[in-house]
Structure 1
Amino acid sequence: MSKGFLRAKARVQVEGESFTIERQCTDGVWVLRNMKTERPMEKTTSELLEAYNSGHLKLERPARAKISSPERTSSLIAKESVPALENGLKAASFRLLFIKAVLHLPTSKSAYGAAILEVARSQNIPADKIPSWVSVYRWARAYLNSGSAPNVLVASNIDKGNRAPRFAEPVLEICQQAIETKFLTLERGTIVDTLAIARAETRRANKHLPVSEQLSLPTYRLINRLVNDIPVYDRDLARYGREHARKKYRTSLHHRQTEAPLERGEIDHTRMDLFAIDDENGFPLGRPWLTILIDDYTRCVLGYCLSFEPPSRATVARCLRHAFMPKTGLREKYPDLKNDWDAYGIVSELVMDGGTEFHSKELEQICFDLDIEQHFAPRKTPWFKGKVERFQGTLNRGVTVSTPGKTFGGIVERDDYDPKKHAIVTMSALKHLLEVGELQLMRQRT
């Protein structure tokens, strides 16, 4: 329900015909003009009130009215939830506070601004919720033009935008089929390719339809919107495969946290991106393999094995021996060292991947004798032992960043560069670099 007034410029319906009230004469007679025929009609106040009570006269609601009739109310309830309607009424009441404060004021920024601040202060309204004076002016103008009907202040959110679908359901089905057969494939078709297929199918369907029922051709924007409606995980799963999607959108929950050194160790292999040469004759020997055991709590290297032998039970055993035993004689070997390698000992847990060298009976026997729990990372989950993975990558990049004999990331990046011809790093120099560099990093950690 909303308020209505008999006054000039108000619109009424008399027995189904629309009239505009032009004026009230001095004798109390109202002059109404038919909006269709423009013929005038005179009615007294008592006649208009009697017609209103009998239902022959109706006051036309303002154009922006939101909840002014049972039909409108039922339409709103069907389109919006009850909380949404309640929020709209609260917003209208909020606006009405400021409108009533400025109705008697001249239209100026200073006058409106002072009244708005006074209302905000009295109602304890936060600073970020205070409306501008221009907004209050628009609300007041709409309020007065509607005949002081508060329902014009309810936001017309349900009427915003074009609610009618632009494309028919058959067009959407054709587009969905084109997306599934072209875009969501491992060949990774583009949106342009998908659009071409959808348009071709639409033209083929139009050949069997009358002119009045022709389907609209899909647009790039439609295909792009339909693609964006697909969850990103499902898109990447279809276009790049399960492993790619799992790695990209993985989440780490209940990560294993250690509280003391030697509580958990991570072991892994990597091949150095560097050609090493023989210490005696300088012949290039190839790219050495590096096996590293790192402490999870301190991130210190407990032990390593550097050789040209691919990962095997022997390289794992040498790495474990180097990690478990004290590192003695380093100062005699490297006179420039000023501290010892104190990181050694038997770990309580040993984390490794699923390589065959880690499933040997010898390693199982070693772990049983030394009371070491074996933990195997799931397939293709490098983050399960992320500390050793990150250390290997950092070490490889640091050693080979500008060293002659580096192999780059692959043959394409290598171009005409031959790492065998330019290799100058000997195996002894590489071991010296690893041990001295690790001791320097360990000194920084402590």
Structure 2
Amino acid sequence: MTGHFRVSGTDCLEVAGAKHRLLQSDRSGLIWNRLDNPSMCLSFTGDEFMQLLSRPDVRLKRGEFSDKSAFRRNRCDLEYLQSVAPEKRAKALWQTACACAFLEAESRVETTRSEKAVQRILPVLEERVNLIEESGQDVGRSKRAGHVFKRRRFPSARWLLQWVRMYEAGGHSPLVFLRKRRPDTSVNKLIGEAESILAECVAKYLDRNEPTQEQIIEDTGERFAEINAGRAEVGKLALPVRSASTIRRRIKALDPFEVVAQRKGIDAARRKFGFYEDGLKADYPLQRVEMDEWQIDICSLFDESGALEGLSVEERTKFEVGRRWLYVVLDCATRCVLAFRIVATPNADDAIRTLKLVTEDKTPIAEAAGCESRWEQFGGIGILVTDQGSAFAAEKFRMTVADLGATYEAPPAGVPKLRARIERIFRTFGQRLAPMLIGRTFGNPVERGDYPSERWAALTDGELAQILTLFIVDIYHNTPHAGLQGETPANAWKRLSSEQGVTPPPDANHHRAVFGIPLSRKIGRHGIRFFGINYTCPQMQDALLRGASGNIPIRVDPEDITYVSVCLGHEWFTAEAVSRSVWGLSLDEWRTIVRDLRTRFKDEAILSEKVIRAARKKIRAIDARARQLRRIQLPHLTSEQLDREERQLCLGLKVGPDGSAATGDLEWPKGRKRPDPDDLLGDVITPDGPTSGPDAGGIADVDLFPGENEEWTFDD
């Protein structure tokens, strides 16, 4: 596990509602200072900090104290695009595409920031944006004549430049194009006004006269003094004045390219930050990440999770043969592969699942594949670079990148050097891995000749996933790389992560809210119920007291169902499973347990919890290796499939403590025994013990079929 994380003084660590700011960071660990009580500090080693982020009451907000975040909060009080209405979300992403199209044209010296120059190139920019938007709208549907594409009227040159300035001031986040849902309190308003004025003063540093930092500090002090004098005359509170060190930090946080471009000219900036043949420079792990899709140069047998294992070669040839696609994410600074996923066809959902693996330690996957090395390269993404493929242009993919806190870039097609590293890794796969495997397709028909790729296909999806994992983790990561001056990617990761640190991954609630399976559940006295498990949290209880009702959005992490994230008032909170019996289980394990017990004990009214414990132990031992490898393979659950299976499998299933609203049924029929606390299958399972009669914890013998002369009643 990585022991040194890259955090900055602008990051905020929130523990049980208390905010902390970074005081010190080095290879030995991190020290955080509590804002409301500076005398209190928290210290963690790298491993302790990683464990801390998994707690439900911990939030790590990257760049929370930066001027870009302050500007963004001054305009919008939301943290996630997925919490916004679909129409507003789509418009914000479209405005982002407009701003990015201009910035790309500006970097290629096709225009400048004058309205006349922008006016001349507006039709070209509009066409580029429309192509991206239409490509995203094509995701998930077959291309057919008559399909309708939604287009928006392009902004004028003046408004486009305004959007670009807002986009840059807000740290390249689509959230700057949204508005606040409600007015701020007086204190927040004062802070917002002060931050806005401070941002204007700091922006004066970007002047061709090249003012010094000391001049900006002096001008800022005079500006605040003048404004506060005017506020005092009309009886308003004074704005908080920022210190000189704060102003220096804000100046230092300005984009380096923009600083040089504004102070010395675009030519000087291009010379200093120019493109190289191996792409843009990255100084530390996960600062810049490239992602792309590639059709594997191997014909394989299409199967589902080992369905063809144990069959002979002759029997395997009867099954469907073809080429799978591969999503790969590569770290630019170290050339390490951060994640990959095998898919049937490129799509936005699998692209998002590949991003999810970037933020997780994949050593269990490597161990399941039999690797000798660890696959511990993971963390939070700084800049994500893709091509303009339809999966990456899809609204849900761009929304996920924005909610993850990363900056999204999609360089134009035809300029491969802007994504040179990811293109090179695919050539490495084709040149070094493919020749070792049967069923190779080669790079083109000339190279292939009469090689019978389809007839010699022998690898299944599971075997292909294991081979790719072994090649990446044990071979590629430990082979000297020309782009690293002969250093191996694994060593480059160890060196740079130790020297520079790694951006920490999102905290557990943030991770679940971004990558979890999206569902909706009805809120009630029991909280919310998912697959028979009740979840609750203080925020849900408060919402019920205020009269909340109906369905609310939730997110489920299939790797751990101890917690789910619930959306209340556009904010995501962590809800905990009421029954401890399911803590630590994955969704697959819980589904297997429920399905097995529903099948074996469907005719029994009483079931001992020791059976559940035995089933849980068996399930966790069996198939553990295959479960890890399936994280990079085809099978996955959609929201619709999960809803359908829950209706079929968990009808009447309840989990919760006795005598509370968590059972979901306070009006229990008089005389009927309740399930004991922490029952797993509340309708069929009781704790261990005798089962001969109601007093012994069982169910009394009843006549299920009354005689002909007896009448049926509701009690029957």
Higher helix share: 1
Q: What is the TM-score with the length of structure 1 in the denominator? A: 0.41
Over alpha carbons, which structure has the higher Rg? 1
